[in-house]
Amino acid sequence: MQRAKHRPKARHTIEREALHPNLEIKLVEEISSRKKSGIITSPEWIQVRARSLLAMFRASRGWLQRFLDRHHLALRRCTNRNKLPPEKVAPILMVFHRQLRTFIRSTGPAPWGAYPPEARWNLDEVGTSMLSERILTVVEKGSRFVWVPGRGKIRRFATLVVLVRAGGTQPEKLIIIMSGVGGPQLQEEAKQYDEGVRVYWQRNAWADGETFRKIVEDLRLPSPFLLFMDNLGAHRLAVEQLEVAGGRCWFGPPNTTDYWQPVDANIGTIYHYQS
């Protein structure tokens, strides 16, 4: 007798109807209101709120997923709370690009004006940290930790100054601001960096006005150039210095950098996420 072939069960794709539709309508309204106010709505909040609105309701993880599916909701990683939501950014960026096109046309013939792709630069800072938990040294067996004067478990903060351009050869040197101020120890450390890395020192590894002016002095970008930056105070302080070097600074709208700045939206995102 020939055995019947096993047929896998068809997946049930029809969404299950809500057992408590009034509850879910109330939750959707509150979620929408919280979003407009910039308030984070976590999955845990939805479950706790559901239990408070309906006595003896479990609000299980399974119900939560079905609730999200029924109302076309999804979990997303939060962006910086100081940033504007996407629906408010679009008209701002339209004005930004319109003003930029008007300026470009005023500098020379289409399509590039005085600034072809190789003369257009983007600069942004990316903060990161390095936790040196695995620094090794030879000690007696049985020792768990080794105390090193002024170090211990080291957490070094740094700021990468990322500079890229739309066309042509990219900068050969990586610019990094390390935490620390002077002293022979830091001078010795600086010698150990690869020759392709340009190191600057600042107490908190910040791109403050003084440090950024030093960086600008060493950039030596070919003139003329158009430099896109965000509204960091140090950037504003260096405008005159950059203009003397043959540059034109173009600042993006506040709180929208991750939408228009390729450094922040691409390279910067990777470093922010990993650190």
pLDDT in tens, 146-176: 444 444 444 567 899 999 999 999 998 899 9
Q: What angle in degrees, to the nearest 10, is found between the helix axes of 21-36 and 43-53?
A: 130
Which of the four pLDDT bands, split at 50, 70 and 90, describes residue 182?
A: low
**pLDDT over 70 (residue 86):** yes
pLDDT of residue 7: 52
pLDDT of residue 158: 86
Kindly compute the dihedral angle of the four CA atoms of residues 180, 185, 187, 192, in this order, to the nearest 10 degrees: -100
pLDDT in tens, 237-265: 999 999 999 999 999 998 888 889 888 76
Q: Are strands 174-179 and 154-165 parallel, antiparallel or unpaired?
A: antiparallel
**pLDDT over 50 (residue 137):** no
pLDDT of residue 104: 96
- Please answer whether residues 199 and 221 qualify as being in contact, where contact means their C-beta atoms are separated by less than 8 angstroms: no
The position carrying tokens 């203009």 is 243
| Higher-pLDDT residue of 189, 59 | 59
**pLDDT over 60 (residue 92):** yes
Query: Which of helix, strand or coil describes residue 48?
Result: helix
Which of the four pLDDT bands, split at 50, 70 and 90, describes residue 95?
A: very high
Average pLDDT for 5-14:
46
Q: What is the mean pLDDT of the chain?
A: 81
**pLDDT over 60 (residue 73):** yes
Average pLDDT for 76-91:
72
| Higher-pLDDT residue of 143, 118 | 118
Query: Which of helix, strand or coil describes residue 224?
Result: coil
